[in-house]
Structure 1
């Protein structure tokens, strides 16, 4: 019969059942000793000494009298030696160590940092498009236009990125691709419209630059969410040619268009793959409101970064200095910051395994945060010092400027840490409040020390939130 477990031997002979494993050399008749050997075969094969089997036999509650009556051996040790000799050794292979769930390669994080920082060259190459007399609040021409487009893009793309990642966490990549396919073009259009609305008389070229900036932000969001950092890096490489001395002034805008076209083309190709047309899996759709705090955090953090760069704008007298040494140092530091976020995750999980009390675990979290934040601020300080030395006409970074930059860096890293644990609402509230305070201070003409006070207060509040929220073991569930 097809599919039967019985296999025939030569005609006239008996049939035997097929058992898909190697049989022992002894037969399993009705002998109780054979039956016991069959029942304990796997344990016997893995034992390294007969005494292990003796312990198992005794744990089953067998007395010497029972062993003698049923199996014909005087005690458990004699029976164990018999069992041990009947079965060949089959030691199990050593278990493979579990991979660290929060492992991240430093090289990959550094590549993301370069991808975050290279777009800053666009402000240098696009300087011919950003010239003109000073405008609103004494800012260089085109500054408000660029800021409006950038802030709109940050808010929209942060929310879109979170929504797409929410789909990816549900193992529904087609839904993530569809979300990016609908949201990225809309975000580019909103950023361009915001820039155009903020443009003043004679700032049409700056508005065009800001529209290109919005298109790039949308394309970069698509590629970063889908794990295409390397292609995006190669798309940005043409802009590095513009850093060479002696090139004609028209070369910069041309290189900008080349990199922009490459990034947009890569994003379109990523969204036109098979995943874009795959059917939905029927999973519950993540709520739009859950992505809103991430966008608000992007708004608050982005405004704080822009205020850190405004000092460079006033010193250089050009809207292109929005990507001055302070802003470049902050964006370039995002690569090491991301790696340190993963290290915090790994160290906190190790703390769960090594501590025996709630207070002990909270202390290990505080120590880990202190170390990781200290390393990040050290990296940021080095990048800022290098940027001030290499950026043309920039005085050495020191005093209150350096302190403010480091405090904003602390705000960014602790905010990102809270966001990675799902505590985005608290981080967004604190950062947006700080952004409003900085804006009001700028409008009323408050002294520069106000920025230092606001940044310090914000960093302290976020540090308290980290210790309170992440000091609980339940916050670190996988």
Structure 2
């Protein structure tokens, strides 16, 4: 705000009784009668006429207090609330609930004692209700969609969905590297791949949050600094965990896991800095895995395609970061606390585990659906901002946001359903399409989309807890009661629906 709303009280701290004042409701009040100077409201200085009417021997300054001259007939003292209403007119006219005005008053330091002394109201909420009642609602027309802060093109989001899904072809090419004995009832080579992937998800989700925070603050150089130091560290951590988790006969899988860790770090750099097209070019050699669905490709060709894609991804990331080496940069601000990025890493862990439990064909459908999911997230945020400008009451806003939430979630689940059926029909060895399986996958999709939505609004801690609990329940169900898997996903989806409904129907949640 351009100026403070806090009017400092006088030097005395004694409590004064509330004195009701009459408002100057007549906009065109008559001037002072002839023979008297202009009226000075609330006695801001004694008038000479007051001293003339005082008892003899009384000082002029005291005389104005002893025998004040009553205001001329037809004149009412002005209400200071009128002046405050004029000053807050633009803010109060766009509010959809008095609590928004109360938050503005409190954030500017206006205390209840000051409100009782100056405005004769009990507290900031009572004062906000008066301001809300006397101000006409004047919501500006919504900006064009292209100019909105949360507008994004569908093509860009679909591109990101393809980029998310293409790395799955690497596992088709690398299948011969995963041969060997299996452990814990899992397929061969799964343990080192799983350990390295989990490490990469946690690290890179937290790193991406930190870099995006810098970008949101307008400091791209600081975001690049975070990626320069964080991406190599994440690649080393993921590779080390994959190698350490490898058992006898799983060394090729450990090497594959180390390459996976390097790819995750490089892809994080390119995605955060908006180089999706470069990443798509780098992943194009993986399209050579399509013939592998039917034919047995030579192992050297498989390894060459994997190495070519990995080298291209790493090279593009290095080119993006090359002008920003740590030694040549000035130290920036301290930035957000590291602990603030931890919930984002935990959310990456929980959502990644849920996707893995769904199966290979479901992984393809879920990763491809992330592009439309991102677009629908942007659409929901843009819709919330538009309704914040248009609607005049909190009830109307609550109903409109609930409808937008249901529409976006339903649209995402419809896209996921189509992709699930297509992946089940095209992916070799996919599980048969059945109503329980589709229902379970749609519940997992609802958990992921609602969790991403809460994360976008800053409620990442709640989303992380629910996703981690759902992933743990899914793991237990896989081991002991496979039929209970959909129940865990359904409970998580219901919990996130309630959280989203409670948090996002408030107008203050959509302020940017």
Q: Verify same fold: TM over 0.5.
A: yes
Residues 243-392 of structure 1 mapped to structure 2, 5 A cutoff: 243-244=290-291, 246=295, 247-274=297-324, 279-280=329-330, 282-309=332-359, 324-392=360-428
* Cα deviations by residue, 1:238-262 (Å, 9 ceiling, x for unpaired): 1102323654233112100000010
Post-superposition Cα deviations, 1:137-164, rounded to whole Å, max 9, x if no partner, equal x211111111111111000000000001
CA contact (8 A) 2:211 2:227 kept: yes
CA RMSD, 1 decimal: 2.1
Alignment match, 1:146: 193
Unpaired runs of at least 5, structure 1: 1-58, 62-95, 310-323
Equivalent residue for 1:457?
Answer: 491
Report if the CA contact (8 A) 1:174-1:275 is conserved: no
Q: Which moved more, 1:419-428 or 1:350-359?
A: 350-359
Structure 2 Cα separation of the partners of residues 441 and 374 of structure 1: 27
Any idea what the Cα deviations from partners look like across 1:32-72, whole Å, max 9, x if unmatched?
Answer: xxxxxxxxxxxxxxxxxxxxxxxxxxx999xxxxxxxxxxx
1:132 aligns with 2:180: yes
User: Are the aligned partners of 1:155 and 1:299 in contact in 2 as well (CA < 8 Å)?
Assistant: yes
Corresponding residue number in structure 2 for 1:237:
284
Is 1:107 the equivalent of 2:141?
no
Q: Which residue of 2 aligns with 1:77?
A: none
Task: Note if contact 2:181-2:249 (Cα within 8 Å) is conserved in structure 1.
Answer: no
Which of the numbers 137, 155, 166 marks the counterpart of 1:118? 166
- Of 218, 222, 229, the match for 2:265: 218
Displacement of 1:197 in angstroms is 2.2
| Distance in 2 (alpha carbons) for counterparts of 1:232 and 1:145 | 25
Q: Does 1:471 align with 2:505?
A: yes
Structure 1 residue 214: deviation in Å?
0.5
Matched residue SS, 2:290: coil
Q: Could you tell me how far apart the structure 2 residues matched to 1:106 and 1:145 are? A: 36
Q: Are the equivalent residues in 1 in contact too, given 2:391–2:397 (CA < 8 A)?
A: yes
TM-score (norm 1): 0.74
CA shift, 1:274, in A, is 4.8
Q: Distance in 2 between matches of 1:173 and 1:106?
A: 25
Aligned partners of 2:181 and 2:188 also within 8 Å: yes
CA distance in 2, matches of 1:226, 1:302: 22
TM-aligned CA deviation for residue 278 of structure 1: 6.3
Contact 2:222–2:332 (CA under 8 A) maintained in structure 1: no
Between the aligned partners of 1:126 and 1:429, the Cα distance in structure 2 is 34
- Alignment CA distance shift 1:467-1:190 (3 Å): same
- For residue 211 of structure 2, give the secondary structure of its aligned residue in structure 1: helix
Shift of 1:282: 4.8
Task: After superposing the two structures, state which structure 1 stretch, 386-395 or 291-300, moved more.
Answer: 386-395
What is the deviation of 1:268?
1.0
Equivalent residue, structure 1, for 2:245: 198
By how many angstroms is 1:394 displaced? 2.3
Q: 2:259 & 2:182 partners in 1: Cα distance?
A: 22
Q: Distance in 1 between matches of 2:301 and 2:220?
A: 39
1:159 aligned to 206, 210, 213, which one?
Answer: 206
The answer to whether the 8 A contact 2:376-2:412 is kept is yes
Taking the aligned partners of 2:436 and 2:183, their CA distance within structure 1 comes to 27
CA distance in 1, matches of 2:183, 2:290: 28
8 Å Cα contact 1:167-1:175 kept in structure 2: yes
User: Matched residue of 2:358: which SS?
Assistant: helix
- Following superposition, the deviation at residue 208 of structure 1 comes to 0.6
Change (3 A) 1:211 1:432: same
How far is the alpha carbon of 1:419 from its aligned partner?
0.4
1:90 corresponding residue in structure 2: none
Distance apart, 1:189 and its partner CA: 1.1
**Structure 1 stretches of at least 4 aligned residues deviating more than 4 Å after TM superposition:** 274-282
How many residue pairs are counted as aligned between the two chains? 370
What is aligned with 1:25? none
Q: How far apart are the structure 1 equivalents of 2:28 and 2:222?
A: 55
Structure 2 matches for 1:35-184, cutoff 5 A?
Answer: 99-136=147-184, 138-184=185-231
Which residue of structure 2 lines up, in the alignment, with residue 24 of structure 1? none
The aligned counterpart of 1:3 is: none
